[in-house]
Amino acid sequence: MTVAAALVTLAQAWGVVGLAVAAVFLLWGIDRIDPAAHGAVAFRPLLVPGIVLLWPLVLWRWRALARAPETAGRFDRPAPARVHRRIWTVLAVVLPAILMVAAAIHQEGPRDTAAVRIAPPPGKAAAGALP
């Protein structure tokens, strides 16, 4: 088995397990975890791709909230505004710096070499070429 075939098999297994977790969680688990989700079925199909990709995290949170139901429906630790301000300040400095460095080291093609026209192999007509 090649590495590529093993990766494809692993991705397929991950997806199958993720679909099973999504089905079980969306049919039985979400109502117990989030009281606001009771009766709201229109948004559940929108959650399927995320649950398929993040099924280990979904199972972990589901298990943690099943043990401590008083924390269901709320976030554990809300991030303070100053942390967000610091993150955005760093991003406001770092992203333009990355773009300026990328523009400064941008490589250009060779200027001292003449352009070469690419021709089709001998005996074959170019696609779309006029006769």
Alpha helix ranges (H) inside the chain: 3-24, 30-33, 44-53, 55-67, 81-104
pTM (global) more than 0.75: no
Question: What is the model's pLDDT at position 77?
Answer: 55
Enumerate the domain spans of the chain. Answer: 1-103
Nearest 5°: the CA angle 30, 15, 36 is 15
- Determine contact, residues 72/35, Cβ cutoff 8 Å: yes
Please list the rounded mean pLDDT of every run of 10 residues in the chain (131 residues).
91 97 92 81 91 94 79 58 86 93 78 79 64 54
